Each structure stands twice: as C-alpha cells, then as structure tokens.
A and B are shown apart, each in its own frame.
Chain A
Amino acid sequence: MSSVAEIRVFAEQIRLETIKEIATYGVGHIGGSMSVVELMAVLYGSELRHDPTNPSWEDRDRFVMSKGHAGPVVYATLALRGYFPLEELSTLNQNGTRLPSHCDRLKTPGIDMTAGSLGQGASAAAGMAYAGKILGKEFYTYTVLGDGESNEGQVWELALFAPHHKLSRLIAFTDYNKQQLDGATKDILDLGDMGAKYEAFGWHTQVVDGHDIEALLSAIREAKADERPSMIILNTIKGNGFKFAEERFPNHSLSFNMDGIADSLEIVEKRLADAKAKLEEEKGGIN
C-alpha cells in the first residue's frame, strides 16, 4: 500500500473501525483518536517498516503513541494491518482485554511502548532512537504527542535533549487539535507558536495540515532528509470526520453507542465509499 488513494481508503477504514470500537464499549477518547486517523494511515499504510507477523522484529521502525489515551485508534490500525483479528476491537476495555484504554506494550501485539501518563512516551521514543544510534541500527522511531500533553514539563526536557544528542532518526508529531480535556488549549494553558518553539529548541520543524495525506507523506520525507530530530506539528480538528464528535465541545472523551450515531456513521461510510471509488477510478486509469 503506498498510493495516496490507497492510504485514504485505509484512513477511512481506521476511522470507521475506531468509532465502532469505542461505541461498543460506550465511552472513550474519540476526539484525539479521530484527529490522528490520517497520520496513522500514512505511517502504517506507507512509511513504517514493520511486520505484523513479527511484532518484535528487532529492526522494525518503532512507534510510540505518547498521548496514550489514543489507544483505540492505534488498535484499529493494528487490527486492520493484521496484528490481531478485527473482531478483537470489540473487547476494548472489557475485563481481561488485550486492548486497554491506554497503550500497553505488555498487552497488545504491535505496541512498542506503554503510555498514558502524559509526557513520558516521547522520552521513551527518544531512548529507542538513541539505542538505535548506539547499536548502529537504521530504524526510525516515530512518536505522537498531544497538544494538551505538551503542558507537561517532561516534553520540554525532551525538546532540549533530542537535538543535543543528535537523534536524527526520531520523528515526532504534535497533534495540535487545539483542545484538551477541559476545553480549548488556548484558554487552559496557551501553547503559542509551537513551530517557533521547536525551531528555537533546534529541531527540524514543519507545520502541516494533519488531515492532508500528501502533506504528511512529504513532511516525513523531508524529516528523513534532515540530520536533526524532527517535529511535525499537525494542525488538526479534534473529532475530525465524525460529525457526532465534531459537534461537541470539548470532545476529549464522549459517551455514545451505535444507536445514537446513525447519521454520523452514514457520513463516515460515505467517506469510505468515496475513497474506494476514487481508488478504483485511479486503478481504472492506470489499466
């Protein structure tokens, strides 16, 4: 999978499965799962070097969802890529599940780091990148920070650390969806110009539309071409593509089930159908 049209189909599948997954449990971190759907599709549909049949392959690229509450979108992505059966998504947060609300490396095949206590996952990602450098490995380490998560001091410890230690194979993203649990990031603890901040800390910094698949692909290419650690700030919409969530504020965590989201689901299904149609059209064009 590598064409933009294919990644777009994958993204809509991830969106649909994540919504169903959370709806089955009845409550969950939908907003920040929806905002990184396109990024997950780009990483697991194209950029990440990994093997679903061998999750502990030592040369794999690493992925750390530092905003660990976005576990549901990671699980949907992993299931669609074959790490475990799609049906298992319905066990989210159920007693004894392998799919807990926040990512857990000991429980879920394909999860490289436990996260959920904010600010910590990205440091571990830096450790993976550092280890790769020491061991002469070629793998990249990708990590996704939340904007709310960036209230944490540890994030800024890492912001100093990564450029100083020249962690060139660390590619970090900040999901700048402008919301956190209590409301707008601007009102709670204003992050200001995130791009300028990382630039000043010595990172290769880009600011892109986090829902634009082509922009994401090109940003990752540029990140790899630079010797510095990379921060890609994603301008995103919290709840993106899922009307039920988009209409609510704040939408960090919402209660809903399949009965109450029929019209929103219809839109998602249409997005998926459109993406598939476009892919067919492209294939037809090639043939």
Chain B
Amino acid sequence: MRAVMRQNFEKGNLLRDQYAETMYELMGEDSRIILMEADMIACDNTGKIFRDYPERAIECGIQEANMIGVAAGMSSVGLIPFCHSFGPFVTRRVADQVCISAAYAGLNVKIIGSDPGITAQANGGTHMPFEDGAMMRSISGVTVLEPSCPVQYDWMLREMVKEYGVFYVRMERKANIKIYEDGSDFEIGKGVQLTEGSDVTIFATGAHCLLESFEAVKALKGDGISARLVDMFSWKPIDEELIAKCAAETGCFVTVENHNVMGGFGSAVAEVAVRHCPVPMEFVGVEDRFGQVGTKAYLAEQYGLTAKDIVDAARKAVLRKHD
C-alpha cells in the first residue's frame, strides 16, 4: 500500500518504542542483524532485545568511535549492525569513523541519532545537534533520513535492512503522532505530497516540522494561500523529480528543518532547485546558532520553528513570486 495520510492523526508508539519493537521483530527474523548501544539502552527502551538476543545486542559503553569501527568490521563479515546514541555523538563526534571506516570502506552500517535539534530539550546545547544532517549528508554515499511518524519509521527500519550501505536516521524519540495509515509504503528518495496546493510548496521533514507545517497550511488557507505540503523524509537521496514538479506547479518553496539552515535539508532542496528549476525560496530553520535548554515549544519560538514562522516564510515566498 502506497503512503496514505490518515484523515485524523492519532497517537501511536513513541519513535523510541517503535525502534525497540521493530528491531525486536527484525532480529527475530534475520540473524544477521546486530543492535549496538553506547550506554543508551535505557534511552530507547531496547532492554528487551538485550534480554532476548544477548549474543547480537552489544553494549559498547560510552565509546562511539569504537562502536562505529566495530560495526564496520562486523558488516565486512556479513552482519548488519544498527548503532544508536544521541545524535551529536553518532555524527559530529565520530564524523571521521563514519566517513572512513563505514562509508569510504564501502560497508553496511546503520546509525540512529536520537533527538535531533530542539527535540533534545532539557539536555541542552551539548546534546542538540543542528549540524548532524549536514555532516552526514556531505559524506559520499551516506543516506540521510528523518522519519516523522511511527508508521513511517517502522517501514524505514525494515527498508534499511534490505538496502546495503551507510544510513543515518534522525530519530525524535518522543514523537508519537501517526500521520500515515498502518501499512503505508514509502520509497527512499521519494517525498510524499500530503496536501494539494498551488501557490507555494512547503517541504518539511521530521515530526516537529511536519506537524507545525500542517498548522501553517491551515492558517495560510484562511489567508487565501493554497499551500502544498510535502514530507521529504529522505534528505539524501532527495526527490529531484518531485522538487521540479512542485516548482512548475506552485512556483515558490519554503523548506522547514529542525537543523541549521546551512548545509542541511533546505540546502539539499536548494541544490536541486538552483540547478534545475530556480524559484523563490525561503528557509525556515536554525539561523547558525547553538542549542540551549528549554521545552520544545520554547525552543521552537527561540529558533523560529513555529507554524507562524512557516506562515510568514510562505507569504514572503509567494510575494517574491510576483516581484
């Protein structure tokens, strides 16, 4: 079944619980799958996997560099390791290990980074990656994904087992809104158009940005602006075809990302647009700042990641179209 949006969103598994549930199932089906943690079992509820699959669930301790290296070596023997820690520690801390031991070596390592951007909340600036996606995206051959809902995440994990290569996933642990119908099917490198719209396309990614974007679409409708919303969960590869189509049909873009606007998701869309279908474009995202402690709502205000910021950006993009 292709991806179908629910009429009414409802609560489902937290993404971290979805991770534990899907991985448990996958590890039961496929003895090549390895689950690795860097002292983070309690943070993504994978304890049951450690209990029932002790040989293939590996507690590495707080040593992310060695974890990535060990995973790379395991994959060279045919296993499929999934490595998890907080986003900054499995990306910027180990950028070279991911680049050389995993990607450059042509190996098969799956990396899950918890709590992208402002969703790190009270863990604050040290744990709040605004640059992880840009770093991973710029490493040749690495696939970068950001799931927005438990249904999509379940599909994604299964797909990652099937597809060889290095993957990085931005997982908002506490996101739990089911946007898609159960059994929805996606494709890596293909976005999903969620609303019709002809005046502007809003490309968003991840639970926070997508849910704020839905609010923005409603508000814009009240203003007489017909906004198209696209879930671009696949940052890399990115859906060039859909970007070109949206440029032709709506004439301007807004990108929404819980990440620095430099080098991240907006940049990925812009790289395609500038080359193939230049249109006025506005970026909603973090304007080259560090993180801080706070609730998600407070941080969204602080960094300009609210529905209102998206509405403002969309209005601006539409105005520029008519300049």
Q: For A165, what are the chain B residues with a Cβ–Cβ distance below 8 Å? A: 58
Q: For A129, what are the chain B residues with a Cβ–Cβ distance below 8 Å? A: 73
CB within 8 Å of A: which B50-80 residues: 55-56, 58, 60-61, 63, 65-66, 68-79
Size of chain A's interface in residues, with CB distance under 8 A?
37
How many inter-chain residue pairs (CB < 8 Å) link A and B? 112
| B34 closest partner in A (C-beta) | A134
B96 within 8 A of A: yes
Q: Do residues A124 and B63 form an inter-chain contact, with CB atoms below 8 A?
A: no
Q: For A127, what are the chain B residues with a Cβ–Cβ distance below 8 Å? A: 69-77, 81
Nearest CB on A from B74, distance (A) = 4
A286 within 8 A of B: no
B105 within 8 A of A: yes
B189 within 8 A of A: no
Q: For A130, what are the chain B residues with a Cβ–Cβ distance below 8 Å? A: 58, 70, 73-74
Give Cα A132–Cα B78 distance, bound, in whole angstroms: 10
- Interface size bucket, B side? 20 to 34
B24 within 8 A of A: no
Q: For B81, what are the chain A residues with a Cβ–Cβ distance below 8 Å? A: 127
Q: For B77, what are the chain A residues with a Cβ–Cβ distance below 8 Å? A: 58, 62, 127-128, 131-132, 135, 137
Known contacts A131-B77, A131-B78, A161-B61: does B66 contact A123 (CB below 8 Å)? Answer: yes
Q: Do residues B71 and A161 form an inter-chain contact, with CB atoms below 8 A?
A: no
CB within 8 Å of B: which A132-164 residues: 132, 134-135, 137, 141, 153-154, 157-158, 160-161, 164
Q: Can you name 13 A-B pairs with beta carbons within 8 Å?
A: A58-B77, A114-B105, A117-B97, A122-B69, A126-B73, A127-B71, A130-B73, A130-B74, A132-B77, A134-B34, A134-B74, A135-B79, A160-B61
- Seen from chain A, the residues whose Cβ lies within 8 Å of a Cβ on chain B are 58, 62, 64, 104-106, 112-114, 116-117, 119-132, 134-135, 137, 141, 153-154, 157-158, 160-161, 164-165
- Seen from chain B, the residues whose Cβ lies within 8 Å of a Cβ on chain A are 34, 55-56, 58, 60-61, 63, 65-66, 68-79, 81, 96-97, 100-101, 104-106
